[in-house]
Copies of this chain bind each other. A is one copy, B any other.
Amino acid sequence: MSVRTVGQAARTAFDPAVYLVTDTTQCGGPAGVVATVRAAVAGGATAVQLRDPDASTRELAELGAALLAVLRPAGVPLVVNDRIDVALAIGADGAHVGQGDLDPVTARRLLGPEAHLGLSVSTTREAAAAAALPPGTLDLLGVGPVRTTTSKANARPAIGVDGLAAITAAARAAGAPPCVAIGGLRAGDLPALRAAGAVGAAVISAVCGTPDPRAAAAALAAAWQAR
């Protein structure tokens, strides 16, 4: 396991345009996650989040270390969902927490000032609460689910592109970090999301488990760039 310190990548290096969130089951197991991430990065994925709430801590750390071996040479950042201990253990670039994970202030304290930290929000109220946190706590808000998603158990109701636009606008007005859209997104959704103020699209099933994850990521990257 790597002994890197969190935050080797500068916080400014995190580009969430095409942000792949991994799903071990959809990828067919840990080796499939590594293969999917490698292909997605070749296709244009700009950031990766390791998410596997069913893995043991050791399994998650081993998978994270394997992903870092793929991502460091590519210059693509890796964050870990929920598990700050695993992020610290493997020297990831940061973490992403949900409303049921460690509170962002505590997560920031554990990660240190240089790590990337994102927070999931589903309402304008949660976005306003995020904006009220001490400056430097958060780097990114994950806003959704935009569409109905099957990748997360107990996901909240879909907010739609209009909901994404409303939360993004509220977040901007309140001085919150930029918003990345998430939840059931396909390449065709991306131009509208960008127009609505999102700085990127986080995807799971649009890449994981598809026949050609490289092509899937390339289609997302192209759609994000489309004007």
| A residues in contact (CB < 8 Å) with B | 1, 3, 56-59, 61, 82-86, 88-89, 97, 99-103, 106, 109-110
A84: nearest chain-B partner, CB-CB: B85
B82 close to A110 (CB less than 8 A): no
User: Contacts of A1 on B, CB cut-off 8 Å?
Assistant: 103, 106
Copies in the complex: 2
A152–chain B nearest beta-carbon distance, Å: 13
A65–chain B nearest beta-carbon distance, Å: 10
User: Contacts of A82 on B, CB cut-off 8 Å?
Assistant: 57
Q: Please, how many angstroms separate the alpha-carbon atoms of A106 and B65 in the complex?
A: 13
Q: Which of the listed residues A57, A61, A88, A89 has the most CB atoms from chain B within 10 Å of its own CB?
A: A57
A86–chain B nearest beta-carbon distance, Å: 7
Q: Please, how many angstroms separate the alpha-carbon atoms of A58 and B120 in the complex?
A: 14
A87–chain B nearest beta-carbon distance, Å: 8
Ranked nearest first, the 7 interchain pairs of A and B with the lowest CB-CB distance are A85-B85, A84-B85, A56-B100, A57-B101, A89-B106, A58-B100, A57-B102
